[in-house]
């Protein structure tokens, strides 16, 4: 009898968010992913030496050398990759924990 009471105390009941809130969150996430994708695209172009004059002009605002931009591009790509990998691992870890608790 005591075991069942402790099982119920661990339950978390969450209220479902309204549709407008979910829609707003989705739009924000899509916008962030588009911006992130564009930044990664620009940096990959620099890494592959496939860039246009406007791309270079935008980057020259900071007055850095092309070599510095290529290093920055590599850093952005590496960090984005690490974020994707760690996010994927975290999600799967949480899924495994959720399955174990069920």
Please say whether the beta carbons of 63 and 26 come within 8 A.
Answer: no
pTM over 0.75: no
What is the band of 92 on the pLDDT scale with cuts at 50, 70, 90? very high
Domain co-membership, 56 together with 73: no
Are 47 and 76 in a shared domain?
Answer: no
Which pLDDT belongs to residue 27?
Answer: 93
Domain co-membership, 26 together with 37: yes
Judge whether residue 77 has pLDDT over 70. Answer: yes
Q: Percent of the chain having pLDDT more than 90?
A: 13
Tell me, yes or no, whether 12 lies in a domain: no
In a domain, 84, yes or no: yes
The model's pLDDT over 30-62, given as tens digits with 9 standing for 90+, comes to 988 888 787 777 777 777 877 777 766 666 655
CB 73 within 8 A of CB 39: no
Give the model's pLDDT for residue 89: 93
């Amino acid at each position: 009898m005591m075991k069942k009471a402790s099982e119920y105390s661990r339950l978390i009941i969450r209220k479902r968010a309204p549709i407008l809130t979910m829609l707003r969150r989705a739009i924000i996430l899509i916008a962030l992913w588009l911006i992130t994708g564009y930044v990664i695209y620009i940096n990959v172009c620099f890494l592959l030496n496939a860039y246009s004059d406007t791309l270079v002009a935008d980057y020259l605002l900071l007055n850095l050398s092309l070599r510095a931009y290529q290093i920055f591009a590599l850093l952005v790509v590496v960090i984005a990759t690490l974020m994707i990998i760690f996010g994927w691992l975290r999600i799967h870890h949480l899924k495994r924990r959720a399955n174990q608790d069920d």
